[in-house]
Structure 1
């Protein structure tokens, strides 16, 4: 048996996911329609953006010292004057607005048709910028913010919020939108893998907070350094990015911070946390979109073709990572399932900055230099071809595989879909990430097309032997010759000859080797993953 451990030094440079690469189909990025609403105040420098419960779009105007409200149904923009350089923005479920005032060193709340309230930060010259909401916390509202020049992250959790309630109706400005269709620029991009060491935990530090209600502030180790963005994880940890620093995760309950190392030269800027706890970030140095698995320490980086300064990012329900590239004047997305980056160039001197998804998963963004609020919406394909619809049924053994139809997540197996007649690319993903099966299927109107996919089926007839795969720890996913066969400990029958065995933990390749099977014998391999 010949084997090689993927954690050798050579693998620390780059790992090409052969399973993913072999099964990734051609790009399926679609044309989008860009709709632009020009902001009435010239050179306003819009930054923060949020969607209200009524579908209205709110944004900050840093240079204009205003908060804007766009009603896309009426094509109207209203503006409320504020002071102090509004930057980050959060819209509460009730429609109240919270935003940072970078120049006034404060956080402010505003009822757009009523009064406002302001709280000054305890650290002088902190320059508050990014602002995100937390689902829980000690306050009536619970927000987290970065203090860019103060080198801190802070929790804003007022026990009560009192604002005056005058009725203030600002006159609307009619803003007829302009629209243009932008074709997708699709580039296959295999990730670089920088393996971590799950047996070597990240450095830990005790960060004693300073409290001046409604603020609690935490400063990273090594003294103040520029602090950029902040995100709240499903487990309540707070992730933030700093200048020339690892990714930092803070447990506000214990005041402990973990410092997760990134590949040399990485400068993380934007940061979000996915539902599985993986941490996605923009890397402005390569430039690239990266993801950290906090459990293993593995980091993957997808370089952005033509990228310059990836700025902000958001995850859609299909698992695509949308991002703005400020200096490249583009909005794009990474499909980690397909290993593709899709770019939509916006034209010169636009500088898209922050972005957000609405309930229909359309992308809204602020254009810093373009001085507009933009919306990207997928242009639907021309209506169903003549002949109506058919049914596509997809079954698998084992069940529970994620199903992508033309690159869009549609559910898990077993799955039944009614689709317009036509041809579709179908992919099945293990663990929601690893492609294990792909096919082009034709749906005929008025009929049902049933697909039964069995992973790890019976071996071909002829001389056969047995392979036992054991691992420490157990429970690793076993792929043999590119096909998922089960988890360790595993015993399978294989045709005589050489077979390639791969062991995965989640989406991370832990071991790969070639095994020689002799008819009528049992080959046992024991793998210890470090």
Structure 2
């Protein structure tokens, strides 16, 4: 595939068509080769966007590739939600996959851990898994229901959202879990990222809020201007703020560490922005309708 089509351009936002509307760009990350890699959840593929000319290369993988991250071994690692496997793809396109110990577990979130392994959630099984770069898998009980996204915290532990447990969980690398309940009922946390302030930041898709939790478990919540925004994914930006997708409103939001919120409208309110990542000095997010959006970071 070689498609590079700018379809929306404002002072701060540009969108690039990278697939047909049925392929479903879902999550993205910067690869070890400096390119932008993203999952096509409905096509069963992972794609690469060249940083120089925008050329898109598509690699078939297992069914339902969802969240993707760069691994410590120079490869891309991702969850295959419908195939119930963990996928690995080298920048050259060599694909392999590994089965978790729990069948039908619904792997969703994945991150490079502090111990040189990849950690992932099994959302349907209420478990968290660990896979080494050689494919050895270990699993632990999650500290609550429906673990979703996860990230490595500044304390050397894994932190995950417990979407149906209405909590944020902490898991040590030896499998000891702790859950921190959220103040707002029905918050439904999804995305989580380590912030520049030594805390973890997360989205509350059910409550229209952005949350912050310290490594000691103290929670602060920030309501968004649009209660129906349905914030989904979050990442630390190159400007010292946190950036997140507003799936319900077709926007990308920004929140400073002191709680000031602003947002950037995308081309359509129904463009379904999901994953977001920093890349090449800007923020990029995946729109399930077939595009990647680039949001300029302005002083």
What is the TM-score with the length of structure 2 in the denominator?
Answer: 0.88
User: How many Å separate the matches in 1 of 2:83 and 2:265?
Assistant: 35
Give the CA deviation at 1:120.
Answer: 1.1
Cα–Cα, structure 1 residues 376 and 275, in superposed 2: closer, same or farther, change >3 Å?
closer
**1:215 is matched with which residue: 127, 137, 154?**
137
Structure having the higher Rg: 1
Give 1:145-156 correspondences, 5 Å limit: 145-156=120-131
Cα–Cα, structure 1 residues 110 and 293, in superposed 2: closer, same or farther, change >3 Å?
closer
Q: Tell me if 1:247 matches 2:168.
A: yes
- Which residue pairs with 2:7 in the alignment? none
Q: Conserved in 2, the CA contact under 8 Å of 1:52 and 1:93?
A: no
Q: Conserved in 1, the CA contact under 8 Å of 2:196 and 2:241?
A: no
Give 1:54-203 correspondences, 5 Å limit: 54-92=33-71, 95-137=74-116, 142-158=117-133, 160=134
- Alignment RMSD: 2.1
Give the CA deviation at 1:32.
Answer: 4.6
**What is the total number of aligned residue pairs between the two structures?**
286
User: How many Å separate the matches in 2 of 1:292 and 1:282?
Assistant: 11
Give the CA deviation at 1:117.
Answer: 1.6
Give the CA deviation at 1:134.
Answer: 1.8
Cα–Cα, structure 1 residues 92 and 246, in superposed 2: closer, same or farther, change >3 Å?
closer
Give the CA deviation at 1:246.
Answer: 2.2
Q: Tell me if 1:274 matches 2:178.
A: no
Give the CA deviation at 1:286.
Answer: 2.5
- Which residue pairs with 1:34 in the alignment? 13
What is the TM-score with the length of structure 1 in the denominator?
Answer: 0.51
Give the CA deviation at 1:231.
Answer: 1.3
- Which residue pairs with 1:258 in the alignment? 178
User: How many Å separate the matches in 2 of 1:67 and 1:292?
Assistant: 32
Give the CA deviation at 1:351.
Answer: 0.8
User: How many Å separate the matches in 1 of 2:124 and 2:291?
Assistant: 28
> Residue deviations 1:156-215, cap 9 Å, x none?
114x3xxxxxxxxxxxxxxxxxxxxxxxxxxxxxxxxxxxxxxxxxxxxxxxxxxxx611
Q: Conserved in 2, the CA contact under 8 Å of 1:80 and 1:112?
A: no
Give the CA deviation at 1:276.
Answer: 4.7
Give the CA deviation at 1:119.
Answer: 0.9
Runs of 4+ in 1 over 3 A off after TM superposition: 92-95
- Structure 2 alignment gaps of length 5 or more: 1-9
Q: Conserved in 2, the CA contact under 8 Å of 1:260 and 1:294?
A: no
Give 1:427-506 correspondences, 5 Å limit: none
Give the CA deviation at 1:51.
Answer: 1.1
Cα–Cα, structure 1 residues 114 and 321, in superposed 2: closer, same or farther, change >3 Å?
closer
- Which residue pairs with 1:291 in the alignment? 212
- Which residue pairs with 1:204 in the alignment? none
> Residue deviations 1:272-297, cap 9 Å, x none?
223554121111232111112233x4
